[in-house]
Amino acid sequence: MPYCEVDRYQAGDKWEGVRLFYRRYGRGATKVLLVIGLAGTHDSWGPQIRGLTGSMEPADGGDVPEPAARTDEEAAAPATATAPEEEDVGEGIEVCCFDNRGVGRSTIPPHKSYYSTAIMARDALALMDHLGWKKAHVFGHSMGAMISCKLAAMAPHRLSSLALLNVTGGGMECFPKVDAQMLSLAFRFLRARTPEQRALVDLETHYTKEYLDEEVESCTRRAILYKEYVKGISSSGMQSNCGFEGQINACWTHKVTTKELDTIRAAGFLVSVIHGRHDIIAQVCHARRLAQRLLPVARMVDLHGAHLVSHERPQEVNNALMDLIKATKSATAPHEWSSQPENTSGMLKNRLLNVAKFYGRLCWKAHLLR
């Protein structure tokens, strides 16, 4: 299996490596890094992998032996770059997705202090180094979008563009809208001990009821997805308490500062904020607020769907991602890309739009002069 060591932590008197499991799909000069959310694994990006590359066949040669265990002396030594030179393979898209620390086949550090969105952004950056990618389009979902924000602020020169799916600002914004349905779901989620119990809860939090109740051939989509979820959870295993608590800590402690937002806005790349308007986990109001704070480089894409809008509306999400890639290739100016500010009216709306366009032109000119 393909692994990449991205970090080390001290466990007693020994150093342990943090390794990420990853997969690559497709080939091409356009690189896309997909960062998944809380408790998710790399294969959660299936509809986007297929939509972007046209294939679900891994391009990394399938299973490969795991690397030999490192000695304590090797583990304590500074990391050295061993990545191959990035090759120009022409048109096409190459995608890399991975299991974050704490889930799937990646390392599960034992304490929540080893988890934060900044730490996990450095994991993603180390993976890009390992792959030899100088730049990539970075697309993140939910917690993965928080990680992607940190990565964009940390190393803006490494991003071609940024897509944030079902994102919030972390902290208190991680709290869903509290009602009877959500309280019931939270109770059942915490009590879930089997793949079957977990699958039932996941379906109700990931999709709209309308979507789940749709008839597909002789049964409902709910029944089909239930079997797929049980199979998927059974094959990858339930996330450990340690990994779950660590990733929750990363979400709870996440915050993007005004300075970091300024860095993202001034970096010169375009941003797409994509959200399911019926998301009960990450409320759409938080995504809209973030999109407005990222004007003029951000476009808000509001879709009919829930938290896993990337699965519920795959074609629309994939179209939005391809629009972002194409706009980047054609060097679309931010003020031409961004949507109009929402929840404003009349003269104030026009003034805000004019200010956004003016600021966008300045940022774009400064970017071209570098």
- Residue 75: predicted pLDDT: 37
pTM (predicted TM-score):
0.84
| Amino acid letter for position 244 | F
Say if strands 215-216 and 136-141 run parallel, antiparallel, or are unpaired: unpaired
* b/e 259-287 (16+ beta carbons within 10 angstroms → b): ebbebbbebbbbbbbbbbbbbbbbbbebb
Q: Which domains does the chain have, with CATH numbers?
A: 3-62+88-176+251-343 (3.40.50.1820)
Nearest to 76 by CA among 16, 129, 34: 16
Q: Look up residue 40 and give its two tokens.
A: 């998710």
> How many whole angstroms separate alpha carbon 77 and alpha carbon 100?
23
279, 166 contact by CB (below 8 A): yes
Q: What is the 3-state secondary structure (H, E, C) of 260-290?
A: HHHHHHHCCCEEEEEEECCCCCCCHHHHHHH
In the prediction, which pLDDT does 84 show? 43
What are the φ and ψ backbone dihedral angles of 325, each rounded to 5 degrees?
A: -65, -45
Residue with tokens 């010169």: 268
CB atoms within 10 A of CB 39: 22
Q: CA triplet 280, 283, 289: central angle to 5 degrees?
A: 170
361 token code pair: 């032109």
Positions of the chain with pLDDT lower than 70, given as ranges: 1, 61-90, 339-370
CA separation, residue 119 to residues 174, 224, 250, 252 (Å): 19, 37, 9, 14
